[in-house]
Amino acid sequence: MCLIRRYEDRMAEIYTEGKSPLFSIAAGPVPGEMHLAAGQEPVAVGVMAHLRPDDAVTAPHRPHHFAIAKGVDLRRMTAEIFGRTTGLSHGKGGHMHLFDPSVHFSCSGIVGAGFPPAVGAALAFKRQGGGRV
């Protein structure tokens, strides 16, 4: 939980650098919008504590805490947030569209859009057997 909070706090600092007014999404080192989840760390850590490594997570538009708790590589996630080619999606997805198949993690910047893929994964897991969620 401490790592997640430190990460979120640092991202908040970096995101607001060079922004005047603060909601100027075109300014600063991080392109686009930033939805942080400071204070919600226990939710992510608590949920992940009950999942197996091969279980899938489809996170909402505030994904950092879930991504970190699931084990997404911090360097690649940060590179993605900064729009760098070394990011999870080569800098094309940004912070609300993180995807890391190596740890079975995805998210969507569109509120509620993660439900259809999550339901599809759940159906596939049920048909495959084995108890994945």
pTM above 0.75, yes or no: yes
Per-residue model confidence as pLDDT tens digits over 25-43: 878 888 888 999 999 999 9
DSSP string, 103-124: GTEEE-SSTTTTHHHHHHHHHH
pLDDT at 28: 83
What residue spans define the domains of the chain?
40-128
Peptide bond into 31 cis (omega under 30): no
pLDDT > 90: percent of the chain: 84
Long-range CB contacts for residues 101-104, cutoff 8 Å, separation at least 24: 102/73, 103/53, 103/70, 103/71, 103/72, 104/53, 104/54, 104/55, 104/56, 104/57, 104/70
